[in-house]
Chain A
Amino acid sequence: EIVLTQSPGTLSLSPGERATLSCRASQTVSDTFLAWYQQKPGQAPRLLVYGASNRATAIPDRFSGSGSGTDFTLTISRLEPEDFAVYYCQQYDPFPIFGGGTQVEIK
């Protein structure tokens, strides 16, 4: 069973800064099945990126996904106040699994 490890656990940044979130798989995975979600307190997760690099509907272009093999990255080019949240990566092999999450907090 694949394990997804997200780092860092917490990222402290200021609005306007660039955020780089990592998701590392315990073995090579297909980028076809790598997705990213954003979750704010008291809300359901929201799909941001699927297929490692495809933005979901209505997701701003400051969010971008990249990576392949075992290493995947979610980048937020310039943090807006509404971007401070928890972010999860998700893979499918042989069933859906989630990483432990990265919290992006205001510095």
Chain B
Amino acid sequence: QLQLQESGSRLVKPSQTLSLTCVVSGNFINSVGYSWSWIRQPPGKGLEWIGYIYHTGSTYYNPSLKSRVNIAVDKSKNQFSLRLNSVTAADTAVYYCARVEMVQVYFDFWGQGILVTVSS
């Protein structure tokens, strides 16, 4: 069974860089037809897609965040990562990693989420 687990800094100061890692169980990160995504959810609010990365390394980002986001994959460690720079309080959210089925584009496996707070 595929499992994803987020980790990283839970408290980030304004203007600094948020960094998270998602470890994918097994060898699923090389699966053809899937990509690996980050989604966030501010407290009490809805879901916002951040971006995704294919096992090839190709990336696609939400236009609203594109200038601040970088997603990378490390297949040797079965993990992918998120970096979001120049953070503000508006970036406070639960961050989820998830697998994306890329034919019909839906999120079929999710990590448990990690709350990241931006505060000085």
Which residues of A are in contact with B by a Cβ distance under 8 Å? 32-33, 35, 37, 43-47, 50-51, 56, 88, 90, 92, 95-101
On whether A95 and B62 interact (CB within 8 A), knowing A33-B105, A50-B106, the answer reads yes
Q: Does any Cβ of A come within 8 Å of B28's Cβ? A: no
Contacts A32-B104, A44-B110 given; does A100 touch B46 at CB 8 Å: yes
Q: How many residues of B contact A (CB 8 A)?
A: 21
The CA of A50 and the CA of B107, in the complex, are separated in Å by 9
A83–B63 Cα distance when bound, in Å, is 34
Which 3 pairs of residues, A with B, have the shortest CB-CB distance?
A92-B105, A44-B110, A35-B106
- Whether B112 is near chain A, meaning CB under 8 Å from some CB there, is yes
CA distance A98 to B41 in the complex (A): 11
Contact A44 B60 (CB under 8 A): no
A88-B104 in contact (CB<8A): no
Contact indicator A90/B46 (Cβ below 8 Å): no
Q: Is A95 a contact partner of B113 (Cβ separation < 8 A)?
A: no
Residues of A within 8 A of B104 (CB): 32-33, 35, 50-51
